[in-house]
Amino acid sequence: MQAAISNVKQRILVLGAGELGLAVLQGLAALSTESASITVLLRQATVQSSSMEKQQEIHSISRLGIAIETADITEASVEELAAVLGRFDTVISCVGFAAGRGTQRKLAEAALTAGVNRYIPWQFGVDYDLIGRGSPQDLFDEQLDVRDLLRAQSRTEWVIISTGMFTSFLFDPAFGVVDLNAGQVNALGSFETRVTVTTAQDIGTLTAAIVLHSPRLIDQVVYTAGDTLTYGALADLVERVIGRNIERRELSVQQLLADLEQMPEDNLCKYRAVFAMGRGVAWDVANTFNAVHGLPVTNTEQWAQSNLRQGQGRETTPQPH
C-alpha cells in the first residue's frame, strides 16, 4: 500500500542540504515530478565553493532537477528571510541545531512573517511536548518555543515530524552507547529503557510522503519510526551482527546527571541524560505514519548489518535531535 499523494502543484523550498536535507530533496524528487517544483536554500559560499565535496553536492542537487536559492540563514534578518520564504507554498527546514542557538525560532518567525501556506520546522527528533521545558538538554526549550509560535496562530499551516534519534547516532562512538572498540553496549537509564530511531534516508522519504499526502496533513504532529527497541534488544542485535559477546553496562540517570554536572556545556552529556530518562524518546511503531501507510523502513538490525564491521563502529558525525 502506498500513501496517497496530492495532485496539487505546489512550490516547495527546503532549507539546507546536509545529510537530512539531501535525503528530503531526494525523497521529494522521487515523488513529486508532476505535483511540485522543488528549490533548496543554500549559502552563496556553498554554491561558489571550490571544494570537490561541495561541488559534488551541487551537481547531485542539479541532477535531481532542483533549483537553488541563496541566502545566509545565520546572517540574514527575519525580514530578509521572510522575503525569500514568502515566494513558496511549503517550507521545510532541514537546518538543525548546529546552525546555532536562536536559529529555529528565527526561521519560524520568518515563515510566519512571510505568511507561507505551510511550514515544517526542524523538529526531526524526540517528542519535545512530552519532555517539556527545563530538561537536561536546554536546546530543547527552543523547540518548544517554535511549537508555541506555530500553535498561537492560524494563518500558516504546520506539520511537526517526530522521528526519534537518527539511527546512525545510536551507533556513533562519540555518543557512547555502542562502543565496539571496547566491546561494550552502554544502556542509558537501564536495559529496559526504550528508544525510537529512524534512518536519515527514511526520514527524507517519509517527509516527502507526509508533505505530499492527500488529504493534506495540517497542524499536527506526525510520528515515524524505523524501530523502537530497548537497550537490551540493542545489545542482543549488536552481538548477532558482529558475532561475538559484548559487555553490557548500565548508566543510571543519576550517574549521567552527575556527569553533566561535571561537564555542564557538553552536548553529548545532555543528550545521554535526556534519553536515559526515557520520556518522550520512544513510541510504538504500529501507530506511526510509515506503519499505518505500509511504507517500508530500515530497522536497527538492518542498518547495523549494512554499516557495522567486525570490531569496528561506523564513524559518523554526531547529530543532535
- Report which of 14, 12, 62 is spatially closest to residue 37, judged by C-alpha positions: 12
CATH number, position 108:
3.40.50.720
Contact 242, 180 (CB under 8 A): yes
260 pLDDT higher than 70: yes
Q: Is 206 in contact with 199 (CB distance < 8 Å)?
A: no
Q: What's the whole-number mean pLDDT along residues 288-294?
A: 98
73 is a domain residue: yes
Distance CA 30, CA 24 (A): 10
Residue pointed to by grid coordinates 533549483 = 67
pLDDT at 16 over 50: yes
pLDDT value at 266 more than 60? yes
The answer to whether the CB of 146 falls within 8 A of the CB of 105 is yes
H-helix segments, the chain: 19-31, 44-48, 52-63, 78-85, 103-114, 128-131, 140-151, 167-170, 200-211, 231-242, 253-262, 267-277, 289-292, 300-307
Omega cis (within 30) before 215: yes
User: Quick one: pLDDT band at residue 220, thresholds 50, 70, 90?
Assistant: very high
- Which of the four pLDDT bands, split at 50, 70 and 90, describes residue 17? very high
Give pLDDT, residue 321. 56
Give the amino acid at 278: G
* Residue 131, SS3 per DSSP: helix
- Give domain status of residue 311, yes or no: no
Cα separation, 98 vs 107, in Å, equals 14
- Region 21-36: mean pLDDT is 88
Q: Domain limits at 99?
A: 10-165+198-225+283-295
pLDDT in tens, 166-218: 999 999 999 999 999 999 999 999 999 999 999 999 999 999 999 999 999 99
Euclidean distance between CA atoms 98 and 200, whole angstroms? 16
Q: How many domains does the chain have?
A: 1
Residue 187 lies in a domain: no
DSSP-derived secondary structure letter, 92: E
Residue 15 lies in a domain: yes
Chain segment 97-138, per-residue pLDDT in tens: 888 899 999 999 999 999 999 999 999 999 999 999 999 999
Range from 31-35, 90-94, 113-117, 206-210 carrying the lowest mean pLDDT:
31-35
Query: What is the pLDDT at residue 307?
Result: 95
Q: What is the pTM of this model?
A: 0.92
Question: What distance separates the 2 farthest-apart alpha carbons in the chain?
Answer: 57
Does residue 27 belong to any structural domain of this protein?
yes
Residue 107 lies in a domain: yes
- Which three cell numbers mark 133? 521545558
Question: How confident is residue 269, by pLDDT bands cut at 50, 70 and 90?
Answer: very high
Residue 83: count other Cβ atoms within 10 Å of its Cβ: 15
Dist CA 259 CA 266 (whole Å): 9
Closest among 182, 175, 224 to 203, alpha carbons compared: 224
Give the tens place of pLDDT for each residue, 296-317.
999 999 999 999 964 444 444 4
Pair 72, 106: CB distance under 8 Å: no
pLDDT for res 33: 65
pLDDT at residue 6 above 70?
A: no
- Which residues on neighbouring strands pair with residue 166, listed in sequence order? 198
**Percent of the chain with pLDDT strictly greater than 70:** 93
The mean pLDDT value for 36-53 works out to 89
Answer whether 40's CB lies under 8 Å from 67's CB: yes
C-alpha cell at 78: 527575519
The answer, yes or no, to whether residue 1 has pLDDT greater than 60, is no
Query: Is residue 39 within 8 Å of residue 222, measured between CB atoms?
Result: no
- pLDDT score of 309: 67
Position 82 scores a pLDDT of 98
Considering the domain boundaries, does residue 312 fall inside one?
no
- Domain assignment present for residue 19? The answer is yes
